[in-house]
A and B are shown apart, each in its own frame.
Chain A
């Protein structure tokens, strides 16, 4: 079976010649969650954006289900992928129900189907449709807005979900709630198609909690592509540096506790 998404030697350079991606090869198996880690400017977001042709690679190619997306019809390709970003990007002039059902509306599905589906999804992301469907984005908290963003991304039952720092702007408690909810949604939602998730984050704990595989990018190059469990044990210097940077608090506590 072909990978759900495959990046084959994907490179991207800006018009000014800055190389943001350098021959990245990476395959995402269907139904898995892959987290792409890396510091700011490492090329994580650029890589994600090549998957739905928001950015066209300047070298190599991206395949979805074994087919190069360069030849794919762009609207259909994008509608088949959920997209969630940190800023949420909800439409301020649409109520929550319409925001959640936007992709269905774009596809021209009938109104009652759209409403049924968006209400179902709002409930699934933990927002009671009876109280939220007719509110507007500005009336929601950051976490609630992000829930709507997720509902919108899942409305058309995409096989692929692209998430770019989806919980990056939230406080730690809300973020943890959202991570739990996402995990439940992807694993438990009945009748769901197997969703392949590409999750861009700089949060190692988020990657460890949600992902099956963890990919580390640095300066546009793929440094590591490991199973979750293998990531923490890796002796690769870049990987262990990332892990160390993240778990400094724990270690300093441990050393303070000292030998007893």
Chain B
């Protein structure tokens, strides 16, 4: 990419990168706010685990372009493309976070939980002092998978006009301009790699060696 190209598109790339970040970030916030409590709830009512995780699984198998299409005609949501994009990305992010929260807590050594209860920790203390800290690296691993997936899928959001780096890619494809395609694809890839590395560090930080 020549300096000329960058001076022409640099500002737009920056704006679209920010937009991309905003779409993904908002979706991750929503997905975490839904999936972590839901995962905790599933550990309390394990008979729901299979059906709920199956639903999240099915959501994830819907092709992203189709998902954006389905949401387009919905009232209120359809008014603003960003709403559709965030909702769709949230749906995709649910499964990894939900599954890892559930598995992370269920995987804690039973004797630890038994003693915690027998010594009189309240269920709140059990959750915040024992279960969440011990499952934290698992939950973060789920978050990491979800984030990387969403950074990728967010490029499709441009198809419904939600903006983000996909816009450059779509425009590049339409005008057969590979420079434009790369101008969208490279920052998107870098975002994914950056998120992966940052969350990976965080995950390592929270990893507790078991006894």
- Please give the residue numbers on chain A whose beta carbons come within 8 Å of chain B beta carbons, in ascending order: 52, 54, 74-81, 83, 85, 87-93, 102-103, 105-106, 136-138, 145, 149, 152-153, 162
Contacts and interface: CB of A to CB of B under 8 A. Distances in A.
Nearest to A90: B211
Contacts of B118: 52, 54, 78, 81, 83, 162
Contact of A91 (B114, B117, B130): B130
A145 B115 CA distance: 14
Interface of B: 109, 111-112, 114-122, 125, 129-130, 133-134, 208-211
State the main secondary structure of chain B at its contact with A.
helix
Contact of A93 (B115, B121, B134): B134
B208 A93 contact: yes
A75 B122 contact: yes
A61 B109 CA distance: 30
29 contacts: A52-B118, A54-B118, A75-B121, A78-B119, A79-B119, A81-B118, A83-B119, A85-B111, A88-B111, A88-B115, A89-B114, A89-B116, A90-B112, A90-B211, A91-B129, A91-B130, A92-B208, A92-B210, A93-B134, A102-B121, A103-B120, A106-B121, A106-B125, A106-B129, A137-B211, A138-B209, A138-B210, A152-B119, A153-B119
Contacts of B117: 54, 78
Contacts of B209: 92, 136, 138
Given A83-B119, A92-B208, A106-B129, 19 more contacts: A54-B118, A76-B120, A79-B119, A83-B115, A85-B114, A88-B211, A89-B111, A89-B112, A89-B114, A90-B211, A91-B116, A91-B129, A91-B134, A92-B209, A93-B134, A102-B121, A106-B121, A137-B211, A162-B118
A259 to B, nearest CB: 51
A90 B119 CA distance: 12
A74 B134 CA distance: 25
Given A75-B122, A78-B119, A78-B120, A54 B211 contact: no
A83 B114 CA distance: 10
A88 B119 CA distance: 12
Contacts of B120: 74-80, 103, 106
Contacts of B134: 91-93
Contacts of A74: 120
Contact of B115 (A75, A77, A79, A85): A85
